[in-house]
Each structure stands twice: as C-alpha cells, then as structure tokens.
Amino acid sequence: MGASLSEAGGQAGPAPAARQRWMSVLAKARLGELEEAWQGLDDKPAYDWLRLPEIGMVMVRARTGGTGGQFNLGQMTVTRCALRLASGEAGLGYVQGRAKRHAELAAVFDALLQDAARRPVLEQDVIAPLAAAHAARRDDRSRKANATKVNFFTLVRGENDQ
C-alpha cells in the first residue's frame, strides 16, 4: 500500500498551486454540497481504495502573540483517504472532523480534477460554486459582525455659536 499511496501525491499532475486550491475548497465545502455535485456528474467514475477513510488527528499549532515562536494549541479530528480512478488518476482527501464520506468525495473530485480534459468543466461547475458558497457564508458572518461596529461620535459641549 505504501508504494501506491505515494502515487496519490501525483507526479506529473497539475501545478501544486492549482491542486492546493481545489483541495482546500473541497475540504471546506459542506457535505451536502459535495453530494449534490457528485449526483450532478453524468459519468460517475469507478475507483479503488488506496487508503480507506481513516479518522485521526492533527495537532493545531499557533504562534506566541500571533507572530512569535510556535506552540501546540490542541488537536483537531481529521479524516483522510486515498483512491485511484479506473482511468489511473489518484486522489487524496484530507478533511476536518470525523467525516468519511466528505473525505471520499473530496478525494474523488481531486482525482477527477487531475484529468486535464475534465478539469475546465469541473473547475467551473464544481469548484467555483463550492468556493462561492464558502465565500457567501463568510461574507454573511462578516456583514453581521460589521453591523456591530461602533461609530464613535464626540459630543461638543460648552460651545455657544448662536
């Protein structure tokens, strides 16, 4: 399994920056959105497991004062898996929480996106809407927070212009 697992990293695949981005979008998506995207695929690929979904932890690190030396804040649950499509592409899923199906779907889309022929359509039909949905959730929270921003004004007293 070790040798085949390293395939999941991909060798001659897309530039890391592109894959980095879509993997991050897939990890932060909601499970319901991913299921919908999966159901929306006309040709659902078959795949074999390279690594069955496995629940574990990642130690979350932070920096003293936000900018200084590192320390261990605490752990978070993470689910990972790896699989290979019948067409040969290997996909990897690393997602927060105990979320086997989420990791599986993230890995399938990661594999599909490595197929240069399918990528443009998937970027447009899956990744862009998932990223937009995440941005919309963030924007909603941010606008509600912004409504609680204090507008200080100074009361001028003791002046008598009239």
Partner 1 sequence: MYVAVKGGEQAILNSHKLIAEERRGDTAVPELSLAQIKEQMQLAVDRVMTEGSLYDRDLAALAIKQAQGDLMEAIFLLRAYRTTLARFGESLPIETAGMALRRRISAAYKDLPGGQVLGPSYDYTHRLLDFALAAEEGVGAPEAESAESGIEAAIPRVTDILNHEGLIEEEIALDDAAPVGDLTREPLRFPAERDLRLQNLARGDEGFLLALGYSTQRGYGRNHPFAGEIRLGEVAVEFVPEELGFAIEIGEITVTECQMINQFAGSAERPPQFTRGYGLSFGHCERKTMAMALVDRALRARELDESIEYPAQDEEFVLYHSDNVEASGFVQHLKLPHYVDFQSELQLIRSLRKRHAQDRREAAE
Q: Which residues bind partner 1 (CB under 8 A)?
A: 5-6, 8-9, 16, 20, 23-24, 27-28, 54-78, 80, 82, 92, 94-98, 138-150, 152
Burial of 81 (0-12, 13-18, 19+ CB in 10 A): buried
For residue 125, give both structure tokens: 């039909």
CB of 41 to partner 1, least distance (A): 22
Give the Cβ contact number of residue 25 at 10 Å. 21
CB of 15 to partner 1, least distance (A): 10
CB of 16 to partner 1, least distance (A): 5
Nearer Cβ to partner 1 (72/162): 72
For residue 4, give both structure tokens: 């085949």
Euclidean distance between CA atoms 107 and 93, whole angstroms = 4
Instruction: Find, among 106, 84, 74, the residue nearest to 93 by Cα.
Output: 106
Give me the residues paired with residue 81 across strands: 93
Nearer Cβ to partner 1 (146/160): 146
Nearer Cβ to partner 1 (47/94): 94
CB of 158 to partner 1, least distance (A): 21
Instruction: Find, among 60, 62, 83, the residue nearest to 5 by Cα.
Output: 83
Instruction: Find, among 48, 73, 49, 69, the residue nearest to 59 by Cα.
Output: 73
Nearer Cβ to partner 1 (24/124): 24
Do the beta carbons of residue 108 and residue 23 sit within 8 Å?
A: no
CB of 146 to partner 1, least distance (A): 4
Nearer Cβ to partner 1 (24/44): 24
